[in-house]
């Protein structure tokens, strides 16, 4: 690439819209007499390419609404009914968010009621016959001590028209949707359907993804807890590997399209020797391949630990050509494939190895949140209520550079966030494992080379 073209790439500026939609003009005095009310004036941030979606994007100044209570609100609390729904996979902290929303809405704003919609968007659809429950402070006071979601969850699309019908029947003014990329896209569709009907409905998303892969969300709730538990699994794999000659520990972690948990847990525990993530391609055999590097590691140190994200290595396996209920591709099982290849490789060398495999995924998803995530979830829930009562809609509450802000749904659903393998963060991961010198063939996942043949 010539210097001129390199300069033009580095100066690429991405158009980003940050304006938040409002249901109407807030005219009612807030009941929160003790609050420091937030201004509606946008707050400036200077964001680099980590937030803007690529190494070729130009750093730029963007302004966002700060989250928090407003002096004037749109909905009249005694006449306001709220609803909460949780969708998609489990994640530490969901119950904490539910509890926070209920406590703020009832104790802070004294709304008429808060409804809990059972089993995701299915709960709105009559044919599923899921009951709607009343959420009171007494019912939610202890739920943060447990993992999962007290409301249940489900995957898969539901008719936005039927959801809007249910919201009208239930007389809901504020809908809180806790979920990942698919849920937030559904929230946008539901919000637009409500607008088309002339409904005065505030739709507020609380981003939930254990993979930490939602655009513009620097860290999703539950991620810290997931890393804690993933680190424990890596420690156990290391102990197992040390316990036998030529011991190998393989740990499979969450991460369909993004390797944040695998990378962060690797940095945390520093016992992993190889980490494989969806953002990079690797070869198994030949120069720079994983298996020769693993052989060299075993001969020099006598043990090894491999951490692999569930979405890694899809380029070396046959596609399943299937999708789940949410439309996500069903991934080929990298762990089974990797274990098979390792055993075959060392059998060919007539070298005895002891391999132990750990998959803590469902345990990690289901545990209660740790202390830091509980604080985070509590603040997300409170700020979601403040946004809804002030009449904001089609937005999420998020933490951006240590400040809580309002982000439009169109921004957070624009694309999936991925780990930037050109960053100093990924370099630190490679330095921690030492694999930058052994896996010389690792390349960005989008690149094709002869190592794939």
List residues with catalytic annotation.
211
d(CA 14, CA 263): 27
The distance from CA 341 to its chain's CA centroid, rounded to whole angstroms, is: 31
The secondary structure of 76-111, three-state, reads CHHHCEEEEEECCCCCCCHHHHHHHHHHHHHHHCCC
Instruction: Pull the structure tokens for residue 284.
Output: 């198994």
d(CA 188, CA 142): 31
Q: ∠ CA 100-102-107 to the nearest 5 degrees?
A: 100
User: Which residues, at least 6 apart from 99, have a Cβ–Cβ distance to it below 8 Å?
Assistant: 140, 141, 143, 144, 378, 381
> What is the side-by-side order of every strand in the sheet holding 303-309?
274-276, 303-309, 247-253, 354-358
Name the pairing type of β-strands 132-134 and 113-117: antiparallel
Give which of 298, 234, 302 is closest to 266, Cα–Cα.
234
DSSP code, position 329: B
d(CA 434, CA 453): 26
d(CA 232, CA 307): 12
């Amino acid at each position: 690439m010539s210097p001129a073209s390199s300069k033009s790439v580095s100066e690429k500026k991405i158009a980003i819209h940050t304006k938040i939609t409002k249901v109407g003009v807030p005219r009612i005095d807030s009941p929160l007499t003790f609050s420091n009310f937030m201004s509606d004036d946008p707050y400036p941030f200077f964001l680099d390419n980590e937030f803007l979606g690529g190494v070729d994007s130009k750093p730029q100044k963007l302004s966002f609404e700060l989250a928090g209570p407003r002096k004037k609100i749109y909905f009249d609390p005694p006449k306001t009914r709220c609803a909460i729904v949780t969708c998609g996979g489990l994640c530490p902290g969901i119950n904490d968010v539910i509890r926070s929303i209920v406590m703020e809405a009832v104790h802070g704003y004294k709304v008429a009621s808060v409804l809990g919609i059972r089993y995701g968007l299915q709960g709105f659809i009559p044919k599923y016959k899921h009951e709607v429950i009343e959420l009171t402070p007494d019912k939610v006071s202890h739920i943060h001590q447990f993992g999962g979601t007290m409301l249940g969850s489900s995957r898969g699309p539901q008719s936005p028209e039927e959801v809007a019908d249910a919201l009208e029947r239930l007389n809901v003014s504020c809908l809180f949707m806790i979920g990942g990329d698919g849920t937030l896209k559904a929230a946008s569709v539901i919000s637009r359907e409500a607008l088309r009907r002339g409904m005065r409905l505030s739709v507020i998303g609380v981003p939930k993804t254990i993979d930490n892969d939602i655009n513009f969300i620097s860290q999703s709730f539950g991620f810290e807890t997931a890393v804690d538990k993933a680190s424990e699994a890596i420690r156990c794999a290391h102990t197992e590997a040390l316990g036998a000659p030529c011991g190998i520990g393989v740990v499979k972690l969450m991460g369909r399209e993004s390797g944040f948990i695998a990378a962060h847990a690797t940095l945390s525990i520093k016992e992993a020797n190889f980490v494989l993530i969806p953002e990079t391609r690797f070869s198994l055999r030949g120069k720079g391949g994983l298996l020769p590097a693993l052989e060299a590691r075993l001969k020099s140190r006598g043990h090894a630990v491999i951490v692999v994200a569930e979405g890694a290595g899809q380029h070396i396996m046959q596609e399943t050509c299937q999708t789940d209920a949410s439309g996500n591709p069903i991934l080929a099982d990298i762990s089974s494939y990797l274990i098979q290849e390792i055993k075959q490789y060392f059998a060919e060398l007539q070298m005895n190895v002891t391999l132990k495999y750990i998959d803590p995924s469902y345990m990690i998803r289901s545990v209660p949140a740790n202390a830091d995530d509980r604080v985070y979830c509590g603040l997300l829930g409170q700020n979601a209520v403040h946004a809804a009562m002030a009449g904001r809609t089609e937005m999420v509450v998020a933490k951006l550079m240590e400040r809580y802000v309002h982000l439009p749904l169109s921004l957070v659903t624009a694309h999936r966030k991925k780990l930037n393998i050109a960053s100093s963060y990924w370099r630190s991961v490679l330095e921690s494992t030492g694999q930058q010198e052994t896996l010389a063939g690792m390349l960005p996942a989008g690149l094709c080379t002869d190592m794939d043949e």
